[in-house]
Amino acid sequence: MNEELSNLFNAILEGDMPSAQSAAQAALDAGLDPGLILSDGMIAAMKEVGRRFEDGDYFVPEMLISARAMQAGLILLKPHLQSGNVKSAGKVAIGTVKGDLHDIGKNLVALMLEGAGFEVIDLGTDAAPDVFVKAAQEGAQLIGMSALLTTTMNSMDMTIQSLKNAGLRDNVKIIVGGAPVTQEFAAKIGADGFAPDASRAVTLAQSLLEK
């Protein structure tokens, strides 16, 4: 890994927000591809944070300060990840499902969708099924749900049931994602698609709304 990326990776791992910002800026100034900065400098660091948490070397406070450092770096990257100058591709409501507070992945998907020209309504974290139902009632064409915990994946199922109960299931396309979510799970709960990362979420949203 080159020096700029390695500095960014370490700053996020240490939860050092100012250093994460300056390292992200240095990586941009060095002309590195923003997608590479994101994947190899930032997402890779968060994976390592997760590994350390699993091993008992990191605890919740460390995860939290690393997440804050990543988000601070991401603000600098944001304009470079969005292409701008694109026509509206559709209205998307995206949230992290009930019981789940992880929002970095969801924010990244939202950011990339915005960059691809979608109008994005951010439903935040811990979003209950009725919050998604309300968004569908208000005209969202695509519902995006994110879950990072195996225990909250079931909230995706509950949300789809709520959309069905409200008679709205056929009005919207539904995509799901997040570390524990799989294509098989998406099919099982009746979602229209699964994406393993933010850029593939954009491609999926585009293909679903084109149909």
- Contact between 20 and ligand B1M by CB under 6 A: the answer reads no
Q: Which one of 160, 189, 198, 202 is in contact with ligand B1M (CB under 6 A)? A: 198
- CA distances in angstroms from 178 to 52, 173, 194, listed in the order given: 19, 17, 9
- Contact between 43 and ligand B1M by CB under 6 A: the answer reads yes
Q: How many residues does the chain have?
A: 211
Burial of 178 (0-12, 13-18, 19+ CB in 10 A): buried
HSE-CB at 102 with a 13 A cutoff on CA atoms is 21
CB nearer to ligand B1M: give 43 or 81: 43
CB nearer to ligand B1M: give 29 or 72: 72
Q: Which one of 24, 109, 133, 186 is in contact with ligand B1M (CB under 6 A)? A: 109
Residues 6+ apart with CB under 8 A from 124: 95, 96, 103
Considering only residues 82-101, where is the footprint of ligand B1M by CB under 6 A? Answer: 94, 99-101
Q: Which one of 13, 81, 120, 195 is in contact with ligand B1M (CB under 6 A)? A: 195
Number of residues this chain uses to bind ligand B1M (CB under 6 A) = 39
Measured CA to CA, the distance from residue 132 to residue 146 in angstroms comes to: 12
DSSP secondary structure letter of residue 43 = I
Site residues for ligand B1M per CB under 6 A: 43, 46-47, 49-50, 53-54, 60, 63-64, 67, 94, 99-106, 108-109, 144-146, 148-151, 175-180, 195, 197-198, 201
